[in-house]
């Protein structure tokens, strides 16, 4: 065998070796592809099974909906029957529905409906209902001052909270003698947080206890009438420091002690302290009130 034939034989062997390596690579790729295909097929089968189960569940749900719809239609047909009458007692309504309905009634009159039943009394006496009712009439709160004393504590607290939070101008709080006294107790100190108050008149309201010193926080107050009640104790020294005060009437109470020494009310015109149980002398600072027109301090022992 010459050299040319030997070289040709080597080339053929090299090509055969290359072909065998390629065949091995193709076989490996086929194995990987087969494994991947089987895995994808298994996943697709599981997904298809899950979708079939979901479809069956939806079919059952749709069947239930159709069944309930037929029952509802049958009930509606019974209600449409003109030969039958259906009544619902208002006292049988849920408490939540009662609160939503009555929240649209003016706060001045809504509380009288507590007399309908015990459930009504319980529902209309909650703080939640007071908040809902006053929120519905939030733009009319300034007209509710006359009913402030008739309200329960939940209403009073929420009323004051709203007027302070939204700066509602409540300038008048007046319960004169010809109004029926609604409250039998001490002075409601929550009033002292109504910073815009200019007139406070509680006449013949049978209020008892002491006059709270917190009244001096009402810097815009120019009229304070607490006459013909049952207030006891001394006159608060702070009353003489309200800068805008023009009228102060505390007559016909059970006040005792001395008249306050400090009077810095520059615009005070009427000072009526008669028919109490005050002692001591009239302070000289009262003589410095340049606008004072009426001074009644008789019955001083």
CB of 230 closer than 8 Å to CB of 250:
no
Q: Residue 87 has what pLDDT?
A: 53
Q: Residue 66 has what pLDDT?
A: 86
How does pLDDT run across 142-158, given as a tens digit for each residue?
A: 667 667 666 777 787 78
How does pLDDT run across 250-267, given as a tens digit for each residue?
A: 999 999 999 999 998 889
Does 161 have pLDDT greater than 80?
A: no
- Please report which confidence band the pLDDT of residue 246 belongs to, taking 50, 70 and 90 as the band edges: very high
What is the percent of the chain where pLDDT is above 90?
A: 20
> Which tokens hold the place of 48?
């298809």
Q: Residue 172 has what pLDDT?
A: 52
- Please report which confidence band the pLDDT of residue 233 belongs to, taking 50, 70 and 90 as the band edges: very high
- Please report which confidence band the pLDDT of residue 88 belongs to, taking 50, 70 and 90 as the band edges: low
Does 74 have pLDDT greater than 80?
A: no
The pTM (predicted TM-score) of the whole model is 0.56
CA 83 → CA 22, 71, 76, distances in Å?
Answer: 92, 20, 14
Q: Residue 168 has what pLDDT?
A: 47
Q: For residues 50-68, give the mean pLDDT.
A: 87
Question: Distance between CA atoms of 179 and 145, rounded to whole angstroms?
Answer: 13
- Please report which confidence band the pLDDT of residue 204 belongs to, taking 50, 70 and 90 as the band edges: confident
131 CB-near residues (< 8 Å, 6+ apart): 158
92 CB-near residues (< 8 Å, 6+ apart): none
Q: Residue 19 has what pLDDT?
A: 83
227 CB-near residues (< 8 Å, 6+ apart): 203, 204, 249, 250, 251, 252, 253, 272
- The mean of the pLDDT values for the chain is 81
Cα four-point dihedral sign 137, 138, 143, 145: positive
Half-sphere exposure in the Cβ direction for 152 (13 Å, CA): 14
């Amino acid at each position: 065998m010459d050299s040319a034939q030997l070289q040709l034989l080597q080339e053929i062997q090299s090509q055969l070796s290359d072909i065998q390596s390629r065949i091995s690579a193709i076989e490996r790729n086929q194995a990987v592809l087969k494994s991947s295909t089987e895995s994808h097929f298994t996943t697709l089968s599981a997904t298809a099974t899950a979708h079939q189960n979901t479809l069956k569940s939806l079919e059952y749900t749709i069947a239930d909906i159709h069944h309930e719809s037929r029952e509802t239609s049958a009930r509606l047909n019974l209600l449409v029957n003109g030969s039958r009458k259906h009544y619902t007692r208002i006292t049988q309504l849920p408490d939540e529905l009662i609160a939503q309905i009555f929240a649209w009634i003016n706060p001045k009159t809504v509380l009288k409906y507590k007399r309908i039943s015990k459930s009504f009394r319980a529902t209309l006496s909650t703080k939640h209902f007071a908040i809902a009712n006053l929120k519905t009439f939030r733009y009319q709160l300034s007209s509710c001052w006359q009913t402030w004393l008739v309200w329960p504590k939940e209403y009073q607290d929420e009323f004051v909270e709203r007027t302070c939070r939204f700066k509602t101008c409540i300038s008048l709080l007046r319960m004169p003698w010809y109004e029926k006294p609604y409250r039998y107790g001490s002075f409601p100190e929550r009033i002292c947080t109504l910073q815009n108050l200019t007139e406070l008149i509680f006449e013949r309201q049978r209020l008892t206890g002491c006059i709270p010193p917190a009244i001096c926080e009402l810097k815009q107050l120019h009229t304070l009438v607490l006459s013909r009640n049952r207030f006891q104790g001394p006159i608060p020294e702070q009353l003489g420091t309200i800068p805008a005060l023009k009228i102060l009437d505390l007559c016909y109470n059970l006040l005792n002690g001395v008249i306050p020494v400090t009077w810095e009310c520059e615009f005070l015109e009427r000072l009526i302290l008669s028919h109490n149980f005050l002692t001591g002398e009239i302070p000289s600072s009262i003589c410095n009130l340049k606008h004072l027109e009426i001074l009644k301090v008789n019955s001083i022992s």
